[in-house]
Amino acid sequence: MMAKDEHSNGLRWLKHTVLTAGLCLLPALSVSAVNVDYYRDVYPFLKANCLACHNKTTTKAGLDMESPESMRKGGDSGPAIVPGKSRESLIVQASLHQKDMEMPPANNKSGAVKLTSAEISLLKSWIDQGAKSSVQQERQVVFQALAGGNYPIYSAAMTKDGRYAVCGRSNNLFLYDLATRQFVSQILDESLKSGTAHQAQVQSLAFSPDGTRLASGSYREVKIWREEKIDGFVRPASAKLDLQATIVSRDGTKIIGANENGGLVVLDASKGKSIKRISNVNKSGIKLLSISPDGTKAAVWGNDAVLSVWTLKTGKPLTSKTDVAGLKVLEWSADSLSLVSSGEDKMIRLWSVPTSRDAELVLAKEFKDAASKVTVVISGPTSDQFTTASEDGKVRFWSISKGAVWKELSAPNLLNLALSYDGKQLATGSADGVIRIWDIESGKQLTELKERLSTNQQISSLGWTVAAQSLEQTFHKGEIARIEVQNKALDELLKKANATIETMKKVVPEKAKAVKPAEEAKAAAQKAVDEVLALIAKAPEGKADATLEKKLKDAQEKLAPVIMAENSAIADVSAAESNLKDAENDVARITDTKAKNQTALETAKAAVEASKQVLDKATADLAAAKQSLSKPTAKPLSLAFSEDNQRIAAAFDDGKVEVWAVASGIPIEEIAGPISSTASLARGSNGSFIATLADGATLTTSTKPRWELERVLGQGRDRTLFADRVNAVRFSPDGKTLATGGGDPSRAGDVILFDAAKGKIIKTWKERHTDSVLSLDFSPDGTLLASGGADKIARVTDIATGEQVNLFEGHTHHVMGVTFRADGRVLASAGADGVVIAWDMTTGERKKKIEGWSKEVTSLQFIGASNQLITSAGDNRVRIINDEGREIRAITKLPDFMQAAASTADASVIIGGGEDSVLRVWDGTNGKELAVFGAQQK
């Protein structure tokens, strides 16, 4: 039952509360009038239509309807029920709209409807039977399949490094690689027959700081997912093998090595174990080595100018050719049936490899490469094509059948080439250390890859330091300015106090001079009164005659003013002394305050100076790091595309293997090994790359990650753990603690803290809010937890003690988001009232009220170590503002209500999702759209 002044929530976040997972509660309503059970028969329709306004925390008209006892107690109008007398019970009268009562009111915004005749009949029967309470039975939640449609994104999260983003659509989780701009996978709970992540709507998401865990909140449960992958590693060379040169097969499964005795060793690339030894391949010494694309044959050219082909399975020679002098490059065709070679004579030769032993290696064709030496040759996507790089700076694409070049690119100082598996893109590595990606059809350069992951991480760290120290500078300079202004005011007050002391020291003696005459005058007047009284005492019967009475009256009239004069003189002295003492106390207090201010001022100035030194060094280091990206020093030794053509890897002569996302040019992995002047590189298994050095040492990059369900909190394991939807999840800065927020809508807001690795409860704060908790954030040092709730309040709790540190009231509607600034001095909160408020954590006061939204602000996050915030809102905008209220950038005219947004520390990548089910990716520094992921495109 709700009062006529029914409060409205009107929030889009509540749109899906009645649709959560399409669930229904069993058993169904019983219509038995013989024995009406409160919790079974009555409570369900009261909860649906009355309790939103009449509960223990929201008692409209003073009425709590959560239990028979509270209804018997009643509200402002008296008891709501009279046991045994349904006709006299206000709850029945209101439901029947009698006596000017209409409950629930029409057109209310809580979804409450008029009770049906059957429900009113049950209510009356229950009251007439004595309005007895009953034992509330746990109701089984039966999940039903969700209807098809366009599922809004209510939650989204991004890893700290901006590599991955995840969003929830309905009960599904979708993972995206923001570097490659690709859909990666759906994250699934394989135990569910529905083939989804949850059975109910995904309400909240958060990655751990290191990006290896993901928490997802839903109806009465939280699932923790863990990234599973094999990290990159270096395997040292085996001294026993004594290899002089190696090459890795195109599929990354085999390594072929040549030893100093002219033999070959075949290694299992995954284990580094020898699986085949072939002796006496070329006793003069092996100079060039190439493995066929199908991994079955090796071509060898030696110091004796013999070109031979060996079958790796049997270790037997297949064919050979003598007097093949001056070779510089040797490569197989795509079908593994031909060899392409070139050397000092500038000729390109195509050799036909026989399929049976002892047949001769046949020279099938010769090509002239524009009178320039060929430095690199690679096979093409088909057996009819190959590609060369020459000393004249030209890349030529050859057709074997036509015997001619069909495409030519200019790329000077080339060291190596790699062709994408679809044959559409070419990667070139140059002596300037830059990897360039080309579109073969148009002949245009698509991008340059100069960035290195380690340098980017250094830049990111330095950028954070610069931003953090800028905050420090701003804060301490502000403190200095505040103290200096206060000191000026104190100087004025001190001046006035000293002036008062000087004046009062003169006034007190002057005032004191009037006291003695006043006292003497009073004594004389009192003596005159006393003398008259003595005469009266001697009179017959102690009675005064008229003369004595007149004398007494005259004496008393003279005494009264001199008493007042004496009192006034004494009071004047006391007041002057008090003024003097107050002024002296003021001087002491002001002096003490100024001394403390001086200490604080010196501390602030020292902090500014210390911060400036750190800032100056970080700024210089940052500039140097950025400069190093523009002038690479390491040279690429070999290149390889991933099988899906979305990543490119390069092995460099500084011993590092670097992997980039082709679409964005962002370096995504780096692994360091021994410095070498030679390396062979190929795609490895499960998305990895493998590089092998001359001595057989290998560098293997990490495999593609997959997300496995680590544990489930709540639901089947403990159905009482969460009262309802888990609206917020957040990892602590060290990733060891997971905080969850939810509660019973309109009744209580609960916060529970878990050990993220073990899933054990660390702390439980029931009813921390008086309505559902909607948002959480840890302070940067991990000691405080901020929570925002549907009760319009933001609270800050000391995690160690569980005590409330701050309570911030200022929003007029639900607090949809909370976020700490990197220095912990400011907390920002976002409200469904279309307002963001910045709170000063040092004073506990409101710092700034920021307006400018026409609808709910649904999320917010401080960006890195800056004072800037990213926000999403129902007015179809994603905005970046600072905590002083200035707008930095706005992404406007989005198709629909935005529910979630997140940013990397440098705002280079921001994401946003909302009602149209599309996850959008932008460059936050300029607002440029980078990618769009719809539900259909995943």
Structure tokens, 70: 């509270």
Task: Tell me the CA end-to-end span of the chain in Å, nearest whole number.
Answer: 44
CA pair distance 325, 302, nearest whole angstrom? 9
Q: Alpha helices, DSSP H only, in 631-695?
A: none
Which is nearest to 214 in space by CA: 803, 883, 731, 691? 731
Please tell me which of 45-54, 79-88, 361-370, 723-732 the model is most confident about, judged by mean pLDDT: 723-732
Residue keyed to tokens 């409330």: 804
Beta bridge partners of 243: 259
718-734 per-position pLDDT tens digit = 668 999 999 999 999 99
Triad 19, 24, 27: Cα angle to 5°: 160
pLDDT at 937: 57
Contact 243, 267 (CB under 8 A): no
Amino acid making up residue 442: S
Among 21-30, 109-118, 183-192, 760-769, where is mean pLDDT lowest? 21-30
Share of the chain above pLDDT 90, in %: 74
pLDDT at 99: 73
pLDDT at 142: 63
Residue 14, pLDDT > 80, answer no
Q: What is the mean pLDDT of residues 897-926?
A: 96
Confidence of residue 17 (pLDDT cuts 50, 70, 90): very low
pLDDT at 52: 77
Tell me the DSSP string of 114-143: PPPHHHHHHHHHHHHTT----PPPPPEEE-
739-797 per-position pLDDT tens digit = 999 999 888 999 999 999 999 999 999 999 999 999 999 999 999 999 999 999 999 99
Confidence of residue 717 (pLDDT cuts 50, 70, 90): low
Beta bridge partners of 33: none
Confidence of residue 143 (pLDDT cuts 50, 70, 90): low
pLDDT at 685: 87
Confidence of residue 371 (pLDDT cuts 50, 70, 90): low
Phi–psi pair at 55, nearest 5 degrees: -135, 180
CA pair distance 588, 581, nearest whole angstrom? 10
For the chain, give the longest Cα–Cα distance: 169
613-631 per-position pLDDT tens digit = 999 999 999 999 999 998 8
Contact 657, 235 (CB under 8 A): no
Residue keyed to tokens 């930095």: 888
- CA quadruple 915, 916, 922, 928: dihedral positive or negative? negative
Q: What is the mean pLDDT of residues 361-372?
A: 81
User: In this predicted model, which residue has the larger pLDDT, 165 or 116?
Assistant: 165
Residue 383, pLDDT > 50, answer yes
Share of the chain above pLDDT 70, in %: 94
pLDDT at 930: 96
Triad 729, 733, 736: Cα angle to 5°: 75
Q: What is the mean pLDDT of residues 699-724?
A: 88
Among 159-163, 666-670, 744-748, 751-755, where is mean pLDDT lowest? 744-748
Residue 315, pLDDT > 90, answer yes
Residue keyed to tokens 């106390």: 585
Range list of β-strands (E), 623-747: 636-641, 647-652, 656-661, 667-672, 679-683, 689-693, 698-700, 706-714, 728-731, 737-744
Query: CB-based burial of residue 122 (10 Å sphere; 0-12 exposed, 13-18 middle, 19+ buried)?
Result: buried
Q: pTM of the prediction?
A: 0.85
- CA quadruple 207, 213, 216, 222: dihedral positive or negative? negative
**CA 93 to each of CA 3, 88, 127: distance values in angstroms, whole numbers, following the listed order:** 14, 8, 13
84-109 per-position pLDDT tens digit = 888 888 888 888 888 777 778 877 76
Q: What is the mean pLDDT of residues 113-125?
A: 89
Which is nearest to 411 in space by CA: 391, 425, 397? 391
Residue keyed to tokens 């290195």: 452
Buried b (16+ CB within 10 A) or exposed e, 298-313: bbbbbeeebbbbbbbe
Structure tokens, 263: 């033999």
Map residue 740 onto helix, strand or coil. Answer: strand
Cα 310 to chain centroid, rounded: 55
184-195 per-position pLDDT tens digit = 999 999 999 889
The number of C-alpha atoms within 13 Å of 846 and in the hemisphere containing its C-beta is 13
Strand order across the beta sheet in which 435-439 lies:
414-419, 425-430, 435-439, 444-449
**CA 192 to each of CA 149, 167, 189, 199, 733: distance values in angstroms, whole numbers, following the listed order:** 21, 19, 6, 8, 32
Kindly state the helix (H) or strand (E) to which residue 789 belongs, with its residue range: strand 784-789
Contact 216, 698 (CB under 8 A): no
Amino acid making up residue 356: S
Torsion of CA 858, 862, 868, 870, to 10 degrees: -30
pLDDT at 51: 79
203-255 per-position pLDDT tens digit = 999 999 999 999 999 999 999 999 999 999 999 988 888 899 999 999 999 99
CA pair distance 202, 711, nearest whole angstrom? 16
Which is nearest to 784 in space by CA: 745, 742, 737, 715? 737
CA pair distance 302, 283, nearest whole angstrom? 8
Cis peptide before 293 (omega within 30 of 0): no
Residue 32, pLDDT > 80, answer no
User: In this predicted model, which residue has the larger pLDDT, 880 or 101?
Assistant: 880
pLDDT at 33: 45
Which is nearest to 861 in space by CA: 810, 814, 827? 827
Structure tokens, 259: 């030893």
